[in-house]
């Protein structure tokens, strides 16, 4: 089974080309203009064992919102395309990920119903490195774009922590490992769709985000 996808999405605000292999080794080849987000995508690939290639540009003269939200959308679209009819997947996954003082929790259901619960307890203060900064508020925008495009229910919580860097990174690691479990093929039901409905297609309209 070849579970790969490539999408090129262009708008007046962003230009993103992204490819995804669900059954990879965690390799990431990223041409991405926001350093911290590039680090998060690399982390996501490594912990999910997803191969990701990305080339992205956007209207960073406005702010980082458009590019990072649209990156989540394109990554979610790649997940949908790569999963196909979702036959044989485990469907659900979860992870508790400790990162020093921070403990993050992620739980996902590849259900076809989009829902995001995001409780990261971020300070709202940008992360600064040299002349560059990262708008921490766009992390939720990324995950909202991802869940809507992918059609899955995702619960992300910081149970404790101090550093915004650690909180965000731990959530990316936890979500990657939860998704890795959810999309893994279950050898016992390889030819079955894991739903009593017999179908796991994506709904056109997402549920309310909280």
List the domain range (segments joined by +) for residue 124. Answer: 4-189
The answer to whether position 84 is within a domain reads yes
* Phi and psi at residue 160, to the nearest 5°: -165, 160
At 113, is the pLDDT very low, low, confident or very high (cuts 50, 70, 90)?
A: very high
> Quick one: pLDDT band at residue 82, thresholds 50, 70, 90?
very high
Q: How confident is the model at residue 115 (pLDDT cuts 50, 70, 90)?
A: very high
Q: In the structure, what pLDDT confidence band is assigned to residue 209 with cuts at 50, 70 and 90?
A: very low
Cβ neighbors of 196 (< 8 A, separation 6 or more) are: none
CATH code of the domain covering residue 146: 3.30.230.40
Give residue-wise pLDDT tens across range 157-167: 999 999 999 99
Give the mean model confidence (pLDDT) for residues 123-135: 88
Does residue 202 lie within any of the structural domains? no
147 in a domain, yes or no?
A: yes
Kindly state the percentage of the chain with pLDDT values over 70.
Answer: 90
Would residue 89 count as lying in a domain?
yes
> Do residues 161 and 121 touch, judged by C-beta distance below 8 A?
yes
For residues 60-79, b (16+ Cβ closer than 10 Å) or e, as one string? eeeebbbbbbbbbbbbbbbb
Q: Which value, in Å, is the radius of gyration of the alpha carbons in the chain? A: 16
Say how far apart CA 115 and CA 151 lie, in whole Å. 8
Whether 197 is in a domain gets the answer: no
Does any domain span residue 99? yes
Does the pLDDT value for residue 206 go beyond 50?
no
- Asked whether the predicted pLDDT for residue 187 surpasses 90, the reply is no
**Does residue 40 lie in a domain region?**
yes
Is residue 206 in a domain?
no
- Residue 16: closest CA among 3, 33, 28, 1: 33
Alpha helices in 54-118 (DSSP H): 65-83
In the chain, how many domains are there?
1
């Amino acid at each position: 089974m070849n579970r790969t996808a490539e999408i090129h999405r262009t708008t007046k605000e962003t230009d993103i080309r992204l490819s995804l292999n669900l059954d990879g080794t965690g390799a990431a080849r990223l041409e991405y203009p926001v350093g911290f987000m590039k680090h998060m995508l690399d982390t996501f690939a490594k912990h999910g064992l997803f191969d990701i290639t990305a080339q992205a540009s956007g209207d960073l003269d406005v702010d980082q919102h458009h590019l990072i939200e649209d990156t989540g959308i394109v990554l979610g679209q790649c997940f949908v395309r790569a999963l196909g009819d979702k036959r044989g997947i485990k469907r659900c996954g979860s992870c508790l990920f400790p990162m020093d003082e921070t403990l993050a929790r992620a739980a996902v259901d590849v259900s076809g119903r989009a829902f995001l619960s995001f409780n990261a307890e971020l300070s709202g203060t940008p992360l600064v490195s040299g002349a560059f900064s990262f708008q921490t508020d766009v992390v939720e925008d990324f995950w909202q774009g991802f869940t809507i495009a992918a059609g899955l229910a995702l619960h992300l919580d910081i149970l404790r922590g101090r550093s915004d860097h650690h909180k965000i990174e731990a959530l990316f690691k936890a979500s990657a490992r939860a998704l890795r479990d959810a999309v893994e093929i279950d050898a016992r039901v390889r030819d079955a769709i894991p739903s009593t409905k017999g179908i796991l297609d994506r709904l056109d309209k997402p549920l309310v985000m909280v």
